[in-house]
């Protein structure tokens, strides 16, 4: 639904939707009753069918951005438009695959039930899933190659399998925008390649995919656009324009190093825990 120029509410059909699937204007999001800003003044547009990688150090606000887009966190300031209208009108349009560490994997629920959750937004209040909901869940499980796991508790699965379950749940929602928070972290190479191939397929169907990742090589080679974030937007555009030494130093600070003309980013621990060469006991011992 949206409000037209005459103030009347009207239903939006797919053919009338804005070519920019997602528009974010001056978005700020805060924790601790508004006292701690996690995102500040973030603005960018994502056209339909675009594949965007969101990159930034730990604590940059990547997960906060995704949660704000799907309405899990209220903005302190600014707006988020999906198909040109506020998010609330298009709840089903954006599906979110959370970071694995944010999910309680001990929750006693099986794979099929998790994937059915993707259909809940389409069911009217207290309505049971229809035949078509069950068919969509089955198709989503098959698409992710986990049909055989349908009755297994999610806690029993490997990291890669769990990632596929949550992706199947998102697909069951039949979204226009798919948001995946660090889907490649802790999964095997085959699962990663499988997910990238699936993104290729979804892109040909016009789905907009937004993925956060620490893998800059992947972001540069398999994505159309990159967003470099550290509370504010450092750069947004084609990966080659975004991943410059200057931008990476601005985003990663002490975690970025120049080696043979290449910028490397080290995210193993906070900057103050890095020793300076000469301060390392091992190095000093070697020098003796
Ligand atoms: P990223 O996903 O890039 O690692 P997050 O969005 O998780 O970053 O976090 C951004 C900032 O918000 C960090 O400083 C983090 O400590 C803070 N933060 C995240 N979640 C919460 C929360 N639930 N309560 C308070 N602060 C939070
Ligand atoms: Mg995160």
Say yes or no: CB of residue 37 within 6 Å of ligand 1. Answer: no
Q: How far apart are CA 261 and CA 258, in angstroms?
A: 6
Give 246-250 contacts, CB < 8 A, sequence gap 24+.
none
Between 9 and 84, residue with greater pLDDT = 84
Whole-number average pLDDT of the chain: 82
pLDDT tens per residue across span 126-172: 678 889 999 999 999 999 999 999 999 999 998 889 989 999 999 99
Q: Is residue 66 part of a domain?
A: yes
Distance 62 CA to ligand 2 centre (A): 5
Distance 39 CA to ligand 1 centre (A): 9
CATH of the domain at 244: 3.40.50.300
Residues sharing a CB contact under 8 Å with residue 206, sequence separation 6 or more, in sequence order: 48, 49, 176
Q: Residue 60 CA: which ligand 1 atom is closest?
A: 3
Which ligand is closest in space to the CA of residue 267?
Answer: 1
Question: Per-residue confidence at 250, pLDDT binned at 50, 70, 90?
Answer: very high
Q: How far from 35 is each of 32, 116, 230, CA to CA, in Å?
A: 6, 37, 18
Q: Is residue 74 part of a domain?
A: yes
Q: What is the pLDDT, as a whole number, of residue 1?
A: 41
Instruction: Identify which of 31, 40, 63, 179 to mutate to test ligand 1's pocket (most ligand atoms within 8 A of the CB).
Output: 31
Say yes or no: CB of residue 271 within 6 Å of ligand 1. Answer: no
Q: What is the pLDDT, as a whole number, of residue 3?
A: 42
Q: How far from 103 is each of 26, 107, 141, 185, CA to CA, in Å?
A: 29, 9, 19, 14
Share of the chain above pLDDT 70, in %: 78
Q: What is the pLDDT, as a whole number, of residue 9?
A: 45
Q: String of b and e for 131-149 (b: at least 16 CB within 10 Å)?
A: eebeebbeebbebbebeeb
Q: Which domain holds residue 138?
A: 16-276
pLDDT tens per residue across span 23-71: 999 999 999 888 899 999 999 999 999 999 999 999 999 999 999 999 8
Number of structural domains found in the chain: 1
Distance 91 CA to ligand 2 centre (A): 22
Q: Is residue 5 part of a domain?
A: no
Q: Is residue 212 part of a domain?
A: yes
Examine the pLDDT at 108 and tell me if it is beyond 80: yes
């Amino acid at each position: 639904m949206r409000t037209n120029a005459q103030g009347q509410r009207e239903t939006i059909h797919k053919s009338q939707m804005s070519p920019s699937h997602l528009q974010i204007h001056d978005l700020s999001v805060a924790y601790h009753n508004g006292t701690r800003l996690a995102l500040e003044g973030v603005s960018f547009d994502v056209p339909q069918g675009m594949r965007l990688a969101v990159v930034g150090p730990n604590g940059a606000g990547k997960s906060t951005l995704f949660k704000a887009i799907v309405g899990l966190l209220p903005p302190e300031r600014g707006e988020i438009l999906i198909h040109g209208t506020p998010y609330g009108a298009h709840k089903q349009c954006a599906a979110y695959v959370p970071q694995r560490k944010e999910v309680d994997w001990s929750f006693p629920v099986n794979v099929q039930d998790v994937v059915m959750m993707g259909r809940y937004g389409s069911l009217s209040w207290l309505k049971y899933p229809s035949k078509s909901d069950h068919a969509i869940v089955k198709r989503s499980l098959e698409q992710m190659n986990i049909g055989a796991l349908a009755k297994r508790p999610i806690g029993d699965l490997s990291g890669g399998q769990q990632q596929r379950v949550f992706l199947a749940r998102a697909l069951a929602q039949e979204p226009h925008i798919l948001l995946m928070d660090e889907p490649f972290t802790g999964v095997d190479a085959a699962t990663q390649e499988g997910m990238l191939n699936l993104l290729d397929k979804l892109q040909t169907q016009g789905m907009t995919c937004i993925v956060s990742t620490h893998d800059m090589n992947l972001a540069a080679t398999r994505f159309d656009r990159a967003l470099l974030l550290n509370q504010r937007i450092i750069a947004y555009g084609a990966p080659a324009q975004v991943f410059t030494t200057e931008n990476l130093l601005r985003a990663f600070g002490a975690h970025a190093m120049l080696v043979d003309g290449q910028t490397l980013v080290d995210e193993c621990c906070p900057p103050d825990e890095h020793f300076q060469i000469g301060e390392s006991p091992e190095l000093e011992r070697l020098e003796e």
